Amino acid sequence: MAATFGLFTEGIDKFNEYHSKGIIDRVFSTNLTYRSDALKKAPWYVEVDVSKFIALLIDTLNHDTSLSALLDPSAKIRALLEKRQRMG
């Protein structure tokens, strides 16, 4: 499961339950919101650090250039898939 802006406002109990039942393996969420210590320590939670991406967005806007290359993830996805295939 992936969530770009995960708000765990109802707590993490259901996620813990679903993980223990094998319904979910991992939840990937960005670091753009508050994450409690309990969430960060959950065995199913993976934090995705997007600080570099936000910095690139700000830098691109400051230089008055197009955001198109940053907003089109297809090249990065292909590169990630190729890397994953090489790793096995």
Query: 45 and 3 in one domain?
Result: yes
Query: 17 and 58 in one domain?
Result: no
The Cα 21–Cα 55 span in angstroms is 38
Q: What's the structural domain count of the chain?
A: 2
The Cα 71–Cα 61 span in angstroms is 13
Q: Determine the residue type at 18.
A: Y
Query: 84 and 54 in one domain?
Result: yes
Write down the pTM of the prediction.
0.67
Q: What is the pLDDT of residues 24-83, one digit of tens each?
A: 999 988 888 889 999 999 999 999 898 998 999 999 999 998 888 777 878 888 888 898
Query: 60 and 21 in one domain?
Result: no
Query: 61 and 21 in one domain?
Result: no
pLDDT, position 2: 62
First to last CA, the chain: 22
Q: Determine the residue type at 40.
A: K
Query: 68 and 55 in one domain?
Result: yes
pLDDT, position 7: 77
pLDDT, position 24: 93
Query: 57 and 35 in one domain?
Result: no
Query: 55 and 45 in one domain?
Result: no
Q: With CA atoms as reference, report the closest residue to 31 among 39, 23, 21.
A: 39
Range of the domain at 8: 1-49
pLDDT, position 4: 59
